[in-house]
Amino acid sequence: MGIHATYKSEKVEKKFNVTGLCVPSKHYMADISGKLAEIMLSVEQGEYFTINRARQYGKTTTLALLEKQLPKEYSVISVSFEGVDDSVFETPEKFCQGILNICSKYFRERNLPGSETWIDSSVTTFDLLDDFLTKTCQDKKIVLMIDEVDKVSNNFIFLKFLGMLRDKYLKRSKDIGATFQSVILAGVYDIKNLKVKLVQSGHYQLQDGEKRINSPWNIAIDFNVDMSLSEKEIASMLVEYEKDHKTGMDVEVMAGKIRTYTNGYPYLVSRLCQKIDLKLNKDWTLKGLKEAVKLILIEQSTLFDDLIKNVENNDELNEVLKRCILNGEQIPFNVDNYAIRTGLMFGIFLRKGVYVSIHNEIFELRLYNYYISQKSSQNKEKVPATLLSYVVEKGKFNMELAIKKFMQHYYELYHKSRESFLEDECRLLFLTYLRPLINGNGFYHIEAETRNLERTDVIVDFDDEQFIVELKVWKGEASHEKALEQIANYLESKNKSEGYLLTFDFRKRDNVGQPQMKWVEYKGKRIFDCMVGV
């Protein structure tokens, strides 16, 4: 979504696009010429590979751009299994004829010569298809691109086709026969594991004497091209937009902040830009960008529907996400961990050094809101309606009052239930309490760089004001002193004079006492130091 290489085209009214294929002459798109050059090098070297990335990550657009960028000596056949009739994959005969018809149709639809080459009614078995491809690919550089391979990822007939291509690839390395110069498959799933998935799912049982193939695609190289959009690539899109609209935006600042929120997820980048352009009166400022984030967080979309569906349908993934988001745990990267591997595949996780983290801030906030909504539906005690009316006075948010009321309210509800109270609950309960108070006018996010098992920094923007609240679990006097120092340093880095330190005390004592709160001066900063026992 929202990516391109450099093209010359007639001047037309352009827009930001988040649905389907992006077209350089119609859409504002980032320049990914560097990525395309990396992919073309693999094609020139005759490699076979899979572009397996999360949904709406620009795979289809990348294939289309690659098709146009390949030198003239390459003949490209780019097809998609989206919309292909399932009957094509019922028998070898139907598949062999089907794949030839798909290739022939590619040339016919584009009025290109060569469609007749791919018509041969005698090709009804994989052996005959093998011979046909050897003859057709002789002395030619034909690149086969197949998009949406997930549609048939558990189909044995398709796996047999991949196995045939693998065998032809191996023979080519021994100078035996001819085959495609390069084969590129695109989808969400890593198809190196397709055969394993198929047998485990029970869709196909091996017959007596049939050879088990663990992976029909083990000749494919790893695809390591970073398809997320860099700050520079985002800026290239904004520069193109600014030439047309002359909004006066600071392109470098906006590109950097968009990258911060999205971590370069192509759909999210384009969606933010689209919101600012169409819904926010072209307010290309940081304030406008925050408003765009707020709009995205409350909208329904296929991407967010998939995000929540994947969490709800996978208990292991859900548990790891809770540990990461709510507990602030640093989860070690382990490719053998099913939940981590699944999260990486769906674009929810990314590897960060030796740990995994949530891919981007927007995903994290959306997941926080999901968990908050779950907690809100479970809570019998809601935020008092009267509090909503006076915590905001004359458009100003009173964070001190909000925290005081939170501490009093939840002390009364939970101080007698310490035995079953989990440490991650305190953070979630605070955000559950805070969200309706700032809803509509405010915006919060979690500072990922400071979040860990002992602290979480919540940044709240309300109108033109910003509040920094550190949530901490009591670990002793020394730890509390360190927390004061940490928030003071963080306030200094943000050029703020005031902050809020909210500590939850889980010590098992007979008399915890009422919540304690006071303003303290620490290293030139004014900090509202609060402690509540639960």
The model's pLDDT over 481-519, given as tens digits with 9 standing for 90+, comes to 999 999 999 999 999 999 999 998 877 665 555 678 999
Could you tell me which residue, 523 or 405, shows the higher pLDDT? 523
| pLDDT exceeds cutoff 90 at 383 | no
Structure tokens at 208: 């007596």
Share of the chain above pLDDT 90, in %: 69
CA 160 remoteness from chain centre: 32
The domain ranges of the chain are 33-201, 381-534
Considering only 9-23, 67-81, 214-228, 314-328, which range has the smallest mean pLDDT? 9-23
Cα–Cα distance, 272 to 406 (Å, whole number): 33
- pLDDT tens digits, one per residue of 138-164: 999 999 999 999 888 778 899 899 999
Q: Where are the alpha helices (H) located in 173-280, listed in sequence order?
A: 194-201, 231-245, 251-262, 266-278
Structure confidence at residue 385 (pLDDT): 61
| pLDDT exceeds cutoff 90 at 367 | yes
Structure confidence at residue 193 (pLDDT): 56
Q: 85 — alpha (psi -120 to 50), left (phi > 0) or beta?
A: beta
| pLDDT exceeds cutoff 70 at 73 | yes
| pLDDT exceeds cutoff 70 at 255 | yes
Closest C-alpha among 258, 206, 198, 249 to residue 228: 258
Contact criterion met (CB below 8 Å) for 2 and 266: yes
Closest C-alpha among 454, 464, 388 to residue 427: 454
Structure tokens at 476: 């002793």
Structure confidence at residue 334 (pLDDT): 94
Share of the chain above pLDDT 70, in %: 86
Structure tokens at 515: 């919540």
pTM of the complete model: 0.88
Structure confidence at residue 200 (pLDDT): 45
Please give the helix or strand (H or E) that residue 4 lies within, else none. strand 3-4
305-331 as b/e: b if 16+ CB within 10 A = ebbeebbeebeebbebbbbbbbbbbbb
Cα–Cα distance, 235 to 258 (Å, whole number): 10
Rg (alpha carbons) of the chain, rounded to whole number: 28
Cα–Cα distance, 70 to 284 (Å, whole number): 36
Structure confidence at residue 453 (pLDDT): 57
Cα–Cα distance, 472 to 182 (Å, whole number): 54
Structure confidence at residue 202 (pLDDT): 45
| pLDDT exceeds cutoff 50 at 377 | yes
Cα–Cα distance, 265 to 437 (Å, whole number): 30
Averaged pLDDT score across all residues of the chain? 88
Cα–Cα distance, 187 to 49 (Å, whole number): 11
**Polymer length of the chain:** 534
Contact criterion met (CB below 8 Å) for 18 and 274: yes
Contact criterion met (CB below 8 Å) for 246 and 1: no
| pLDDT exceeds cutoff 70 at 225 | yes
Mean per-residue pLDDT for 524-528?
A: 97
Could you please state the CATH topology (level 3) that the domain comprising 33-201 is classified under.
Rossmann fold (3.40.50)
Contact criterion met (CB below 8 Å) for 318 and 281: no
